[in-house]
Amino acid sequence: MEIRGERECTACGTQWSYYETGSVTCPACGNVRSVATEDERREHTDGTATLTLDDAVAAAGRDDYRTAAREARDTVRDYTHERGFVRGGELRDLDTTILAAWELRYVAAAFARAFDHSEAEAYYFVALLRGAPAGERPDASDVPDSMRAARGNGYADAVADYRTDVRRFLDTDPERPAANDLLASLDDHIRRIHALDGDVSPATADRLVDAARAVGRYARDGDEADVVAAREAIDDLKNG
């Protein structure tokens, strides 16, 4: 949505940026009435959520993986719902924390349903729980075959959200001639991965992310080198 994000409190005169706080409440006095200090409305889709998984990590430390999974599932669902990629009119990167959160949504759902897990699956789940808040994810080679659909679906969902926000950004920014074809190609591969229920190699999921990031850089900066990088990544997806 487009909003006027620079605010001034009508009670105490404090100025703040809604783009940074995500709140209409004055950070100084708690008053909820404010006025805009700028005329321009800017596209803004990103919230201020942080990813905290301490309770899930603690449950996993007790080998209570089902409780850990339920805790993580609820937390990452809320986090991914609040997160976006346009803040105050600026297109942000497809960051590693949102990728880890989306992957964890699918992993946690699988662990919440099942009673038994292999040692490799448990190690992968715990590594993802511990690393996700800092954007750290297990390497592609460490993803068990039974869990690769979680990474495939998670990354496809993250890229789908990113693609939507790139389009929003382009609707308000200078035209990028190659953008429509690149976004259409991304959409084709998102659909293909979902049609396979995410069952693609982790390397393929990584290439989808690489392509999306290159498209985002092109949308933001207009650099033709990023068009080349995006097309190369998309060609790799076609051949993968």
Whole-number Å distance between alpha carbons of 218 and 220: 5
Does residue 159 sit in the same domain as residue 232?
yes
153-206 pLDDT, tens digit per residue, is 999 999 999 999 999 999 887 789 999 999 999 999 999 999 999 999 999 999
Judge whether 46 lies within some domain: no
Query: What 3-state DSSP class applies to 175?
Result: coil
CA atoms of 210 and 208, how far apart (whole Å): 5
**What is the pLDDT at residue 231?**
94
- Burial environment of residue 51 by CB neighbours within 10 A (0 to 12, 13 to 18, 19 or more): buried
**Are residues 22 and 67 located together in one domain of the fold?**
no
Same structural domain, 215 and 107: yes
pTM of this structure: 0.85
Q: Provide φ and ψ at 177, rounded to 5°.
A: -55, -35
CA distance 137 to 131: 6
CA angle centred on 42, ends 41 and 45, rounded to 5°: 130
Q: Are 154 and 106 in contact (CB under 8 A)?
A: yes
Query: How many residues are there in the chain?
Result: 240
Asked if 30 and 60 sit in the same domain, the reply is no
List the one residue out of 65, 169, 55, 81 whose CA is nearest residue 119: 65
Q: Where is 87: in which H helix or E strand?
A: strand 86-87
Residue 13's domain comprises: 2-40
Residue with tokens 């986090």: 79
- Both 61 and 174 in one domain: the answer is yes
Spell out, as residue ranges, where the chain has pLDDT lower than 70: 1-5, 16, 39, 240
Which residues are bridge partners to 82 per DSSP? none
Does some domain include residue 45?
Answer: no
How many other CB atoms sit within 10 Å of the CB of residue 97? 18
